[in-house]
A and B are shown apart, each in its own frame.
Chain A
Amino acid sequence: MATRETTPGAILPPPRMTTGKVGWIRNNLFSSPSNGATTIIVAALTLYLLWLFVDWAFGTADWSVIPTLGGTLVLGQYNSDSVCPSNDCFWRPQASLLIAMTYFGILWAVAATTLVRGVALTTAFVAAAMALLPLPFDEMGMDVRLLLVANIPAVFLGRWLGRNTPVGSTRNLIIIAFVGFITVYFLLRGIEGVPGLYPVPSRFWGGLMLNILLAAGGITASLPIGIMLALGRRSNLPVVKMLCIGFIEFFRGVPLITLLFMSQTLVPLAFPRDFPLDEVTRAGIVITMFSAAYMAENIRGGLQALHRGQTEAARALGLPPWNTTTFITLPQALRNVVPAIVGQYISLYKDTTLVFIIGMLDILHMGSSFIGSNREFLPHSRELFLFIALVFWVFNYGMSYVSRRVERNLGVGER
């Protein structure tokens, strides 16, 4: 009784209205009257806001505030006349960056994951791209630019080292990281009497460099501390467990800013007056501890989500508890919480801006003190802070983008 309009069984292309550009627009923008109305209203609103923004950004806005600040946004007063009289200290942070890049290269060769490769290459190329900034040469000399470009060879040098020399073993990586941090510390702080290493006290470390230094220290140290806290909290030793719970809940329960204040008022009292624990290090330790407490909770979540069978199988095979943890449960748990760990790294990097409130010379301090002392730039503070926002956004969005790619590759999100 059915009237056949088509040959039964023929493979036909879908109706024109459901595929292709037209079909896509119909399905996603005008699938129903209410959907169509939404599209029109939202589009109108978006275009209006976009127009307002473009009109401001290319019309009234004056972006000259950013080149005027120039290097001080990046290094703070590190290379200024009062801190480094001969103005030749700029190469030291740059050399530190090269060391970090070489290390990233080694990691890339060893870990061979999208995450590490993405981080290594992106950082190197972004740093190198800075060399092309259209600043006059008396503000950003050829030497500075060349050192920036050198980041690309540095990353590949590291990769070569990682592949062809034994630096890539876990033990060597830890040793190199340790040596690297100490080298960078003395490179930045300088050594009295050594030519070219004019001492720069840590309170003059500033600008984006300070944010990155605090973040780098925190990122390196908060993961192992977080793992220990997480394991401690799951331990069956009541004393250890209580201590870890107390630590985690205390650091998660109070705002970071109050901890930072305590690090500047209470903590120094516990040490002798001449103890070499400067403000920057203290702030770094507090930020790391704060982040480690959150990290511990993320990792604990990963451990809890693991099936009991994993531990039981490992124990049944005769693996001692410590090996069960390091080779069976922890790797799986960490892999499952990669997105949470990266999220915590992003938080940590964002939190480094809080040192501004306790008077350190980070990028926000450089920006707002400049506006404060040059009132003619006050109307253009929006441009400056939008720029600073973008600096953080690029880094953080990049990290979360790469971590989502990793998540997809590992199939973590499919469970």
Chain B
Amino acid sequence: MTNGDASDNGVEDIIIARDVHKWFGSFHALRGVSTTVKRAEKVVILGPSGSGKSTFIRTINRLEEHQRGEIIVDGITLSNDVRNIDAIRREVGMVFQQFNLFPHLTVKDNITLAPMKVRHIPRAEAEDTAMGLLERVGIPEQAEKYPAELSGGQQQRVAIARALAMQPRIMLFDEPTSALDPEMIKDVLDVMTELAQSGMTMLIVTHEVGFAREVADRVIMFDEGMIAEEAPPNEFFINPKSDRAKLFLSQILH
């Protein structure tokens, strides 16, 4: 239902980033990031904390403003034009480390809020979609509950359903499993794997190496605000080229 190839602007390179720079005050957080993501591609982004990987995916839907360079999402250039920003945010779904569900709304209302307010979808239809999505992520029985009544894993699955409800072409995942208890991680990764198999374009910041190996088409490693290495997962995990990647892998793979 949310396959990227359903309708499109005929662009094969769905995300193009050219020489993206970002400063926090005088700290140079992104130092010339250039990469291209193809439609239906799954890209896993790795790197030590503070390497700019989260900042980079947050520039893609303008949660952070880049100050130099160019980002083109599905043929739309990201600029100060509010119309472009709104359009891109409708195209791009995002899942956060801290879930960020709206605590004052029920699970179902969390999911239907944006489709009703932004896409003006009738309530009955939005609720049908929501229930469908909740079934897809495996928790249809929680629809009427409030976020605080759910476990972390359930909350994160609601967050995924909430993002999917806008029928995005691209999904961004910002460390979706880092705040979860170990036994809940699998539930969330299962949902993400299923989503990957359905053909969604995905950018995933994560430390889950197993997931990266299984799902990713390509692994990008960030270090000090730059892309340190970019390779298919087998190549990257078995035979990393740069010393930086070798060191990093030795740390996370024990």
Chain A contacts to B: CB under 8 angstroms = 1-15, 18-19
Contact = CB atoms under 8 A, between A and B. Distances in A.
B36 A11 contact: no
Contacts of A4: 19, 32, 34
B32 A6 contact: yes
Contacts of B31: 8-12
Contact of A8 (B32, B36, B68): B32
B226 interface: yes
B18 interface: yes
A248 to B, nearest CB: 32
A2 B23 CA distance: 21
Interface in B31-80: 31-32, 34, 36, 67-69
Nearest to B68: A15
A179 B18 CA distance: 77
Interface of B: 17-19, 21, 23, 25-26, 28, 31-32, 34, 36, 67-69, 224-227
Per DSSP, chain B at the interface is: strand
A98 B227 CA distance: 68
A18 B28 contact: no
A254 B225 CA distance: 62
20 contacts: A2-B17, A2-B18, A2-B19, A2-B36, A3-B18, A5-B69, A6-B21, A8-B31, A8-B226, A9-B32, A9-B224, A9-B225, A10-B31, A10-B32, A11-B28, A11-B31, A13-B28, A14-B25, A14-B28, A18-B23
Contacts of B227: 8
Contacts of B23: 14-15, 18-19
A314 B7 CA distance: 64
A11 B225 CA distance: 9
Contact of B28 (A3, A5, A12): A12
Contacts of A8: 31-32, 34, 226-227
A18 B19 contact: no
Given A8-B31, A9-B226, 7 more contacts: A2-B36, A3-B19, A9-B225, A10-B31, A14-B23, A14-B67, A19-B23
A361 to B, nearest CB: 54
Nearest to B28: A11
Contacts of A7: 32
A275 B26 CA distance: 72
Contacts of B21: 6, 12
B241 to A, nearest CB: 16
A19 B25 CA distance: 7
A1 B28 contact: no
A6 B19 CA distance: 8
A1 B32 contact: no
B67 A15 contact: yes
Nearest to A6: B32
Contacts of B68: 15
Given A11-B28, A13-B26, A14-B28, A5 B67 contact: no
A142 B155 CA distance: 75
B244 to A, nearest CB: 11
Closest 6 pairs (CB-CB, A-B): A2-B34, A14-B23, A2-B18, A8-B32, A9-B226, A11-B28
Nearest to B224: A9
B36 A5 contact: no
Contacts of A14: 23, 25-26, 28, 67
Contacts of A9: 31-32, 224-226
A291 B26 CA distance: 48
A18 B67 contact: yes
A15 B224 CA distance: 19
A6 B21 CA distance: 10
Contacts of A13: 26, 28
Contacts of B32: 4, 6-10
A200 to B, nearest CB: 61
Contacts of B225: 9
B70 to A, nearest CB: 9
A18 B36 CA distance: 28
Contacts of A6: 19, 21, 32
A227 B32 CA distance: 59
